[in-house]
Amino acid sequence: MVEKPKSASSARVITVTSGKGGVGKTTTTANLGVALARMNLKVVLIDADIGLRNLDIVMGLENRIVYDLVDVVEGRCKLRQAMIKHKQFPDLYLIPAAQTRDKTAVSPQDMINICNQLRPDYDYVIIDSPAGIERGFRNAVAPADEVLVVTNPEVSAVRDADRIVGLLEAENKGPGKLIINRLKPDMVKKGEMMSAEDVHEILAIKIIGIVPEDENVVPASNSGIPVTLNEGSRAGVAFRNIARRLNGEDVPFLPLDDNQGLFARISRFLSGGD
Amino acid sequence: MTSFIDRVFGRHHKGTGTMAKERLQVVLIHDRFNLPPEKMRAMKEEIMAVISKYVEIDRDSVDIALEQRDRNSSRIRAEIPFNPGKRVHDPDEDVPDFVTASNSEPRKDDT
């Protein structure tokens, strides 16, 4: 396929990955999509999992699926036909995952082709990677201009994130940027959870966001309304801040508790770290 | 937060957050270079075997470890004490000239 020349307003393709499952990739993808759309940007979200659909239900779009990613790849529909427009944000679209069990249905080149078709007309393409390090992960990062690595401050998640960081470097997609999700400041204060500083020291990549544990997140998925749209949610604020940072704004990190010292230390080392 | 028993035995309470960080730092060095403990053991045995061909080493005091300052700079640090007094006899080695030279004359205290 002949690549279209990139226009001046070519989309940034961003892949959200983690290694470990269940750390918040889909929640992050959905919320970043909505946050960017709220900023009047044109966004396409792609659920790159093969066989397990998640992004659609978290976004409340599960009843609107007609075509999916594999239909596009196998030529059963045009790309446009698989793009579900969001009810609230007309410039926010979702391309849902297929429910086939054939992991080879999509190739890295297919993903690159699809993203190249989207680049001229949108500001962001955000790809929700599956968990793991096999084909699905490679498909998801193949077209990426940048990669966001989501982790939790917990041993398995950080170990897997480290593996991902290494793989990204090997595939020339590094360094990724880190999102530390589900941090519980009270547990950190008691010494029962790794702090953002601890995770940053171990993984040694720049942090783009720290999202606190927030009981508003599950009700948000339950209702299909991403938590970013809940003004009272701290996780929502964190996701909106990540969107702003992606867009080039210098947004200070949320104070994780009322301890000014902790906040000041985090701000200082995070702005200096890379 | 230390329990009474902990205090009696002088054990300080190390938070599990710190434990997690320390354990991760150790395990990640092995993960990153595909040198899990079993491979490290095999490598250590081979290193000791090679060094043993040249000097007699003190196996129990050998320390071979991975160190990593940051993601891009890492090293294998090996401390291998050996006994400098004893030379390991290598049958393939030529006998040095000064040994054969002294054998051609009787030593003064041989009588």
The CATH number assigned to the domain holding A66 equals 3.40.50.300
What percent of chain B has a predicted confidence (pLDDT) above 90?
Answer: 36
pLDDT at B12 over 80: no
Q: Is A194 in contact with B31 (Cβ distance < 8 A)?
A: no
Q: Mean pLDDT, to the nearest integer, of B4-31? A: 80
Q: Work out how many CB contacts closer than 8 A connect A with B.
A: 46
Q: Is A162 in contact with B28 (Cβ distance < 8 A)?
A: yes
Q: Is A159 in contact with B18 (Cβ distance < 8 A)?
A: no
pLDDT at B26 over 80: yes
Interface test with A, best of B71, B72, B73 (most A CBs within 10 A): B71
Q: Which residue of B has its CA nearest to A194?
A: B17
Positive or negative: CA dihedral A98, A122, A225, A237: positive
Name the average pLDDT for chain B: 78
* In-domain check, residue A5: no
Q: Mean pLDDT, to the nearest integer, of B16-39? A: 90
B12–A contact, CB cutoff 8 A = no
pLDDT reported for residue B3: 63
Domain boundaries, chain B: 1-32, 34-86
Question: What does pTM read for this prediction?
Answer: 0.81
Distance, in Å, from the CA atom of A37 to the CA atom of A118, rounded to the nearest integer, reads 16
Distance, in Å, from the CA atom of A92 to the CA atom of B93, rounded to the nearest integer, reads 79
Distance, in Å, from the CA atom of A83 to the CA atom of A85, rounded to the nearest integer, reads 6
pLDDT in tens, B39-76: 889 999 999 999 999 999 999 999 998 877 666 678 88
pLDDT reported for residue B100: 55
Structural domain boundaries, residue A268:
12-272
* In-domain check, residue A171: yes
Instruction: Give how many domains chain A has, as a whole number.
Output: 1
pLDDT reported for residue A106: 95
> For the stretch B32-50, what's the b/e string if a residue is b when 16 or more beta carbons lie within 10 angstroms of its beta carbon?
beeeeeeebeeebeebeee
pLDDT at B92 over 90: no
8 Å CB contact between A149 and A207: no
A186–B contact, CB cutoff 8 A = no
pLDDT reported for residue B106: 55
Q: Mean pLDDT, to the nearest integer, of B92-111? A: 57
Q: Which residue of A has its CA nearest to B31?
A: A163
B22–A contact, CB cutoff 8 A = no
* In-domain check, residue A89: yes
pLDDT reported for residue A1: 46
What percent of chain B has a predicted confidence (pLDDT) above 70?
Answer: 63
The DSSP code sequence of A87-114 is: SS-TTEEEEPPP--S-GGGS-HHHHHHH
Mean per-residue pLDDT pooled into runs of 10, chain A (274 residues): 54 98 97 98 96 95 96 96 97 95 92 98 98 95 98 98 95 94 96 96 96 97 97 96 97 71 56 46
pLDDT reported for residue B70: 67
Q: Which residue of A has its CA nearest to B16?
A: A192
| Interface predicted TM-score of the whole assembly (ipTM), two decimals | 0.84
* In-domain check, residue A7: no
